[in-house]
Homo-oligomer: A and B are copies of this chain.
Amino acid sequence: MLLHLSTWPEVEAYLQQSTGIILPIGSTEQHGPTGLIGTDAICAEAIAKGVGEATQALVGPTLNVGMALHHTAFPGTISLQPSTLIRVIKDYITFLAKSGFTTFFFINGHGGNIATLKAAFSETYAHLADLNLANSDRIRCRVGNWFMCPSVYKLAKELYGQSEGSHATPSEVAVTQYLYPESIKKASLNPNVAKGHPIYGAANFRHNYPDGRMGSDPSLATPDHGKKLYELAVKELSQSYLEFLNQSVF
C-alpha cells in the first residue's frame, strides 16, 4: 500500500490496523561511469515497495536526495547537508507521529545516510518528548540497509568477490539493470580501479577516486543478478520489518 496512491480515509483505516510505516531513502549521486545517478533512490524505492506488498505495510514517499557531500565534485550529484537532513527527517516523523504513526522503518540505499539518520532519530525522539502527543514515548525508528542484508551481501560476494567494491558496486548496478533494463549503460572501465582511500571532502574524493568507483567492477552486473538480489533484499527486509513492528516497545 503506497501512501502516495492512498486517500486520507484509507490511511485513517490503516492506522486502526497498524501504526507502522516504511520510508525509502536514497541519494542522488554519481555511481561511476556506468552507474545511474539515481541508483540508491531507485533501489530503495523498489525494495520498499516490495516489502510493502509482502507485509501489507504502508510505504511513504521516497527521499530522493540524501547525504552525499563527498560525491559533490562529480556533476549531477545533489546532497543535503547533514543538518538539513536532520531537519527533514524530524519534520517527516513529527507530522506522521501526529497522524498516529509510531513505528518508522527507513529502507535505505546509501551508506552515507546512516550516520545522519541515526543522529536525526535521536534528535526527533527528544523533540517529540517535548510535545504533548499521546504516543510520543512509543515512537521507534530503524534503518534497514538493503545492501547490508546478510543474504544480499553473501550473494554479492559469491557473484563478484573483491570486484564488489564499496561504491558503484555491481550488485546495486545489477538491481537498477533489473528495474530499468532500458537504461543499462556501457563504458570502458579502467581495470585499475582505485580503492582503500578513506573518505574526506568532495575534492579529495574525486582526486582519489577519479571515475567515481570505489574498488568495484560494475561491468559484472546483469539484470538477472539484479532480480535475485532484489528478491533477497525484499525477503530479508520484510522479515526485519515485521520483527521490528511486533517487538514490544516496553
Contacts and interface: CB of A to CB of B under 8 A. Distances in A.
Interface string A85-126: 011100110011011100000000000101110111111011
Interface in A124-144: 125-126, 128-132, 136-142
Contact of A118 (B42, B115, B201): B115
Contacts of A198: 140, 142, 247
A219 to B, nearest CB: 13
A142 to B, nearest CB: 7
Interface stretch (A4-12, A149-157, A226-234): A4-12
Nearest to A99: B75
Q: What copy number does this chain have within its complex?
A: 6
Interface of A: 2-12, 15, 28, 30-38, 41-42, 60-65, 67, 69-70, 72, 74-84, 86-88, 91-92, 95-96, 98-100, 112, 114-116, 118-123, 125-126, 128-132, 136-142, 180, 183, 185, 187, 198, 200-204, 207-208, 212, 247, 249-250
A249 B205 CA distance: 10
Contacts of A67: 119, 122
Contacts of A60: 28, 78
B75 A200 contact: no
Given A3-B37, A72-B95, 10 more contacts: A3-B28, A62-B64, A65-B91, A74-B99, A79-B91, A81-B123, A82-B122, A114-B115, A207-B250, A208-B250
